[in-house]
Amino acid sequence: MKNKPWDGRFKKPMNPRVEKFNASLAFDHILYKHDIKGSQAHAKMLARQGLISQHEAEKLCSALDEIQVELEQKLHPLDPSYEDIHMLIEGLLIKKIGDIGKKLHTGRSRNDQVAVDLRLYTREVSLNIKNLLQELISTLNTLAHKHSKDSMPGYTHLQQAQPVFLGQYFEAYLAMFQRDISRLEDACKRMNFSPLGAGALAGSSLPLDRQWVAKELEFDGIIKNTLDAVSDRDYIMELCSIAAIIMVHLSRLCEDLILWATTEFSFVMLDDAFATGSSLMPNKKNPDVLELIRGKSGRVFGHLIGILTVMKGIPLAYNKDMQEDKEGLFDTVNTLAACLEIISPFLKSLQFNTKLMHEKSTIGHLCATAALEALVMKGIPFRDAHHKVGEWIKEADEHGLPLADIADKALKAIDSDRHS
């Protein structure tokens, strides 16, 4: 069992069960690049401030570069006795360059260290999500232009309502995802501030240059209140919230397409490369991609509730509860990215039965609102016009005729009476 960084005052070694329960290395190891980036900026700042020599800073940064390559190549086992990625990297650093490695943590706590790691990670994945959203918006924009004149039934309450254009449908989702990008950009403005130098909670008496580190790491500034710097997880809650909203939009899109792919609708044909079959029924072509996206929305929603619940009762400043901020965040990011990566090529693969859509938009009672508004334009009060069209619908149903036939005759009769 390795010595702990705090064991100077402890008389007993940690119980192996506690060590296993306490460790986060199994999941926070994915932060190794961000931890190394933050550590290198910290080392350079220590040298600038005369807390370590320039030579020591260069040796630290060079060794950290080597460790990053080694971790990328999976050359080091994830030994839980190190507890977390921060202690693993520090342990590897000390093994590599000796006592100089022990100087890296000068003026720093794991509280502000993990906080900067998570902000660097969140900034990086937010950009990736934004790029994936832009790809989806581009796909939807192409489909909107391609089908700008293809009419189809529009629905409210899942009942035929009025004719719309298929391109108009895609523009609606395009608008949703554009708002999602706006939310991401807005959240990143609040997230992009450095907590480094806040220490455990009260800063440091050492002559640290927090502003320089923030600039080196491309933050917009520092979090001035050190208590807030180490205990804030708003940016994680915001990203999980934005991810949940994106998944709502994806799930709604998928639900529409699942309905459209049914035999009852037959508005869309699934591409063989993006569908699955049945192990029993040879006739089946299933929209598994869409159903999985719809289902995965649940786990993203769950992670949002998880982080909100973790944070709701925590007193200032840092508490170990906050270790629970990571697994849900990482899974949210991975789940959302996987859904966004598949939805664009899936949409491009679809074939829309625009002929049938057009036919469905011209039969039944979808012209009812247009007929009502035509009566209004002839000076008939809205409520009277609404009642009149309702009577025409009743007549159409009784005679098995489309409403358009009844409405056209009635409107022509009104015009004839006015001109006679």
Active site (catalytic) residues: 157, 278
Cβ atoms of 211 and 95 closer than 8 Å: no
SS3 labels along the chain: CCCCCCHHHCCCCCCHHHHHHHCCHHHHHHHHHHHHHHHHHHHHHHHHCCCCCHHHHHHHHHHHHHHHHHHHCCCCCCCHHHCCHHHHHHHHHHHHHHHHHHHCCCCCCHHHHHHHHHHHHHHHHHHHHHHHHHHHHHHHHHHHHHCCCCEEEEEECCEEEEEEEHHHHHHHHHHHHHHHHHHHHHHHHHHCCECCCCCCCCCCCCCCCHHHHHHHCCCCCECCCHHHHHHCCHHHHHHHHHHHHHHHHHHHHHHHHHHHCCCCCCCEECCHHHCECCCCCCCCCECHHHHHHHHHHHHHHHHHHHHHHHHCCCCCCCCHHHHHHHHHHHHHHHHHHHHHHHHHHHHHHCEECHHHHHHHHHCCCCCHHHHHHHHHHCCCCHHHHHHHHHHHHHHHHHHCCCHHHHHHHHHHHHHHHHHC
Please state the separation of Cα 135 from the chain's center in Å: 14
Q: Find all residues with CB under 8 Å of 25, minimum gap 6, and list them.
A: 78, 79, 80, 82, 83, 84, 85, 88
Q: Find all residues with CB under 8 Å of 285, minimum gap 6, and list them.
A: 270, 272, 275, 276, 277
